[in-house]
Structure 1
Amino acid sequence: MAAVPSRAGATPPRTPPGQSRPRFHHGVASGDPLPDAVVLWTRVTPRPGDDPGTGRGPVVDVTWEVAADAQFRRIVRSGTVRTGPDRDHTVKVDATRLTPGTWYWYRFRCQGSTSPVGRTRTAPAHSAATPRLRMAVVSCANWQAGWFTAYRHLAERRDLDLVLHLGDYLYEYAPGEYQARDVVVRPHDPPREMTALADYRRRHGQYKTDPDLQALHAVAPWVVTWDDHESANDAWAGGAENHTAGAEGEWRRRRSFAQRAYAEWMPVRYEAGGRLYRRLRFGRLASLSMLDLRTYRDEQVGSPVDPALGDPDRTITGREQFRFLLDGLADRQVQWKLVGNPVMITPVRFPNALDTRLADGISTLVDAPLPPVQGVPYNVDQWDGYPVERARVLGHLRDRGIRDTVFLTGDIHSGWACDLPIDGLTYPVNGNSVGVELVCTSVTSDNLDDITNSPPRTTSRAVETAFKASNPHIRYLDFDSHGFSVLQVTPAGAQMDWYVLTDRTDPNAAAVHSVSYRVRAGTQKVEPAPRRLV
């Protein structure tokens, strides 16, 4: 196995004076595996100073190679593509005519320089009786809030078929913003909020200099979607909470910059102006429907008691994506219907009045006003703010007798394992669960203990107990931890293991197994798993 880059490599090597050879400062990546194809990605720096977002540098030819072995003795596919400042010197190739269910190695060459070697894997053939699918599940990685140690621990496992990133791959804020404990571990670049195309490109470039992020990109294909911070906080079709039209220009223009940089810098089968939501399939075992819940949604309501919540025309998905989601859930050619879901779909009601400081902490965590009234939705930025459309999704599962549906979710900087009832207020006395939701915590972004400036696993426990008492379909909740999850899907069931970091601000932090939950095939309910995955 190739060694994981050491933290000493956090700063990319400088190009020696007078040397014009490209450097692959930003690593390599792959994504969106199909049975016969996978997306390959890198970025070249042709000359010193041709940095992300500068718009400088010559057009260059880049050769790519895919091999059946790590030594590249058996090269099975290769080609040459051209890149330049028009796409920020990024390279994205859809390598085709590959063999299903196969590990490959890949690299890039440009003017005498060779990139690091990456490893990737194609999806099984659609007709394959796949015995197992294992993936990392991550979201919410704020560069300023901590080190990406979670990525390093995942890269060291080497047992992953893919990495699922559910959004907030990067953050738009200026240095020092969005820091609950007022500790900036490493400041954002550029030193301002992202609004222009050059800003988004430069920030993507900064994140991809992290050696732990590079290591995880290099060991397995990624499947990604965006949430809001890839553009601006609480984004919707016509704007965002963190966007001021007068000072920051027209929203659609800013969003187009964000989406263009995302298309350039991420290993995803997407180009700006296209459709990010898509579906991947892993034999007869599982499909994975990746959602975009920012581009098409109606604006969030002003409060959880707003009468507009009952408007039947309000949408979080948009009409076409809604049909896409329902069609995927009804697919009888696969057993497990997995949904890459950027914000929670589980109905969550605010519990009895909490301590004011803790209630304010919850309000800050979800970035919304929270009247401490029992029974109202606690976060209208997620599916709770679009309850009629959610009811149609859950009713679709119930009415068609669809089984083995798992929503995989990020965004909320906390770990959850939930049943999905039609009516959360009367569950489980009246009605059954129609699916489950498993939510990963943040890689580094602030959690409740950070916001309340409390020691981890102290004051938040009372909040978790209150939420579970008011929402009996919530089986597990951790408001404090940072880390990652690992999900395994087999014909017998799906299980998620949660791992937590000992300290997000320590580059040498350990990752400790916290808890495991599973859903057995056909049950539509989560339960504690007797042991972690091996």
Structure 2
Amino acid sequence: MTQIPSPTDELRVAARRIDRRRFLTVTGAAAAVAFAANLPNTAHAAPAADGSALESDPFTLGVASGDPLPDSVVLWTRLAPLPLEPDGGLPAEPVEIAWEVARDAGFTRPVASGTEVAHPEFAHSVHVEVAGLAPATTYHYRFTTGPWSSTTGRTRTAPAPGALPAAVRFGLVSCQRYDQGFYTAYRHLAAEPELDAVLHLGDYLYEYAVDATAGVRGTPVPAHLNRETRTLEDYRTRYALYHSDPDLQAAHAAHPFIVTWDDHEVDNNYAGAVSEQGDPVEEFLVRRAAAYRAYWENMPLRAPQLPEGPDLRLHRRLHYGRLAQLDILDTRQYRDDQAHGDGWQVPGEEAADPARTLLGAEQERWLADGWRASEAVWNVVPQQVTVARRRDRLTGPWPLSMDAWDGYPAARERLWAAAEEAGVENLVVCTGDVHVHYAFDLKADWDDPDSRTVGVELVTSSITSGGDGAERPANWEALTGANPHLRFYDGRRGYVVVTLDADEARAEYRVVDRVTTPDADVATAATFTTTAGEPGLRPA
């Protein structure tokens, strides 16, 4: 991949050099919180309490696991007896938590245990990286403190590095605005059998204010949630609201999650250090630091993802034996600002600038290097925004989404060139963001339907965002007519189940017909396959 200097990369380097005193001068106490030391001062901290004094259940936010390796998983929980209070209902003191891992849900076959300290600096969250596990194995885990026990979670390690498993199965989810619907799709996802992991593709929460009745849910929530998230306290309480949902908790307890973010975890359509409203860079980076800190605190992420101020390295690589390599991307933190604004616009010279980047130079290089070294049958790329070209009308001139890869065509061409140079034959891009189900063939030349198919893109609909959807949205005829590489389009809510084996990839598009009531059934709207060595989607 040819490397082009990125103005966004230069801005980020400059931002890292901004003196902390300047942040304090500009934004006061908020900066002091956002740029607090990344690790608690354990040398002078009070001894951790054992939890015996807690008068109510501190495990109100459930449990989670994530980022499976062949010999390890990370386990997560966060103590919060009063989850929607700014302090979670706990004093600013460390609390000791015990954890256990076993081969069975009854914990009669234990394999590992230990203790971890939940520090108030991390909102009493813990991230336990359990090592010494067997590959491709299902485990159960739980936490305890004082007289209190968490729910039991199920997790699974990745296959051994040289193994070629018969199959691996992933769930794809995205976009779960709390006040726009019930998480019924998560209840059904929790019941999906034999998922190796769930890939969360962004918009885990939304920064917008939540009104007194939590929108369509009709349940009272505290008044301090009725504002847009800007401070560390705001983001922490918003995650607590989302984690309090029993269906989301069930999905986390049932399957390990592999997460990446999009924009709403910070600010709608932000680009690098540029906010939606064009706030001063110093102020926005303080907000971004708070959002990134809260993201790490509330996700099952490992220590390398611990943020440093306004930076968090989220792109990372996981392997499922020789069957699948997962290159998890971050299309928000390093991108250039959107061209012509962040909506749908007819592309001009600004969008066509070959220097523009969505991933940043370092991440582009990292991805190209990973593809060159890959020995996997399938190269899977979990990321955020639509890669395929999307025209929304039958005749030109055609506006395109400036927030998606359509707004960064030179970056997309470098992506294709890197895949070709590395000899990637079986490329599967997994995408969220758009609140609809799509299935795309990815073409070398969008204007020639007969051109080479580079790979396939599986786009999952939202869990709730957008409210009740429709099987055929109003623009169905235009999108299906204007984009011959679009193989499937459905506007209902749901998720996708992807099964990979040595011969084919199979995508099953699950849908619920409504999210404004909590009792919707799930159905499979369509199933597509692509054959190893013969990229292109076919109805199953």
CA deviations on 1:112-141 (whole Å, 9 max, x unpaired) are 211111110110011011110111111000
Question: How far did 1:212 drift?
Answer: 0.4
Match of 1:9 in 2: none
Matched, 1:297 2:319: no
Question: How far did 1:59 drift?
Answer: 1.3
Paired residue secondary structure (2:420):
helix
Question: How far did 1:81 drift?
Answer: 1.3
Match of 1:256 in 2: 289
Q: Which moved more, 1:44-53 or 1:210-219?
A: 44-53
Paired residue secondary structure (1:192):
coil
2:379 to 337, 354, 365: 337
Distance 1:175 1:85 in 2: 25
In the alignment, is the contact (CA less than 8 A) between 2:326 and 2:382 conserved in 1? yes
Question: How far did 1:50 drift?
Answer: 6.8
User: Aligned ranges for residues 11-410 of structure 1 at < 5 Å?
Assistant: 20=55, 23-45=58-80, 52=87, 56-175=91-210, 183=216, 190-241=225-276, 243=277, 245=279, 250-269=283-302, 270-273=305-308, 274-302=312-340, 303-352=345-394, 373-376=396-399, 378-410=400-432
Question: How far did 1:330 drift?
Answer: 2.8
Question: How far did 1:426 drift?
Answer: 1.8
Distance 1:71 1:60 in 2: 25
C-alpha spacing 1:476/1:102, structure 2 compared with 1 (3 Å): same
Q: Which moved more, 1:61-70 or 1:38-47?
A: 38-47
Distance 2:86 2:427 in 1: 44
CA deviations on 1:418-475 (whole Å, 9 max, x unpaired) are 11111101222xx21111101001111117x86xxxxx34562xx2232222221111
CA deviations on 1:324-353 (whole Å, 9 max, x unpaired) are 122233334111000001111112234226
Distance 2:379 2:472 in 1: 36
Distance 1:294 1:187 in 2: 33
In the alignment, is the contact (CA less than 8 A) between 1:174 and 1:188 conserved in 2? no
Paired residue secondary structure (2:418):
helix
1:415 to 429, 437, 449: 437
Paired residue secondary structure (2:307):
coil
Question: How far did 1:205 drift?
Answer: 0.6
Equivalent AA in structure 2 for residue 466 of structure 1: A
Question: How far did 1:51 drift?
Answer: 5.4
Match of 1:440 in 2: 460
Match of 2:449 in 1: 427
Equivalenced residue count is 476
CA deviations on 1:368-407 (whole Å, 9 max, x unpaired) are xxxxx4444x211011111001001112223444201100
Equivalent AA in structure 2 for residue 490 of structure 1: D
In the alignment, is the contact (CA less than 8 A) between 2:61 and 2:83 conserved in 1? no
CA deviations on 1:40-97 (whole Å, 9 max, x unpaired) are 0011236899755678343111111111221112221111111232111111111111
Distance 1:293 1:54 in 2: 35
C-alpha spacing 1:331/1:25, structure 2 compared with 1 (3 Å): same
In the alignment, is the contact (CA less than 8 A) between 1:29 and 1:267 conserved in 2? yes
Paired residue secondary structure (2:442):
strand
Matched, 1:523 2:530: no
CA deviations on 1:2-26 (whole Å, 9 max, x unpaired) are xxxxxxxxxxxxxxxx953652101
C-alpha spacing 1:233/1:280, structure 2 compared with 1 (3 Å): same
> Identity across aligned pairs (percent)?
41
In the alignment, is the contact (CA less than 8 A) between 1:280 and 1:287 conserved in 2? yes
C-alpha spacing 1:164/1:47, structure 2 compared with 1 (3 Å): closer
C-alpha spacing 1:141/1:48, structure 2 compared with 1 (3 Å): closer
Paired residue secondary structure (1:194):
coil
TM-score computed with the length of structure 1 as normaliser: 0.85
The CA RMSD measured in Å over matched residues stands at: 2.3
CA deviations on 1:481-523 (whole Å, 9 max, x unpaired) are 1111111011111011111112111111111111111111111
CA deviations on 1:245-297 (whole Å, 9 max, x unpaired) are 27x98100000000000000101222113411001000110011111111100
In the alignment, is the contact (CA less than 8 A) between 1:46 and 1:58 conserved in 2? no
Equivalent AA in structure 2 for residue 434 of structure 1: V
Equivalent AA in structure 2 for residue 432 of structure 1: R
C-alpha spacing 1:110/1:184, structure 2 compared with 1 (3 Å): closer
In the alignment, is the contact (CA less than 8 A) between 1:421 and 1:434 conserved in 2? yes
TM-score computed with the length of structure 2 as normaliser: 0.84
Equivalent AA in structure 2 for residue 166 of structure 1: L
User: Aligned ranges for residues 481-500 of structure 1 at < 5 Å?
Assistant: 481-500=492-511
Paired residue secondary structure (1:137):
strand
Question: How far did 1:235 drift?
Answer: 1.3
1:477 to 489, 507, 510: 489
Equivalent AA in structure 2 for residue 32 of structure 1: D
In the alignment, is the contact (CA less than 8 A) between 1:27 and 1:208 conserved in 2? yes
In the alignment, is the contact (CA less than 8 A) between 1:35 and 1:124 conserved in 2? yes
C-alpha spacing 1:298/1:458, structure 2 compared with 1 (3 Å): closer
Equivalent AA in structure 2 for residue 109 of structure 1: T
Distance 1:382 1:121 in 2: 33
Distance 1:514 1:382 in 2: 25
Paired residue secondary structure (1:526):
strand
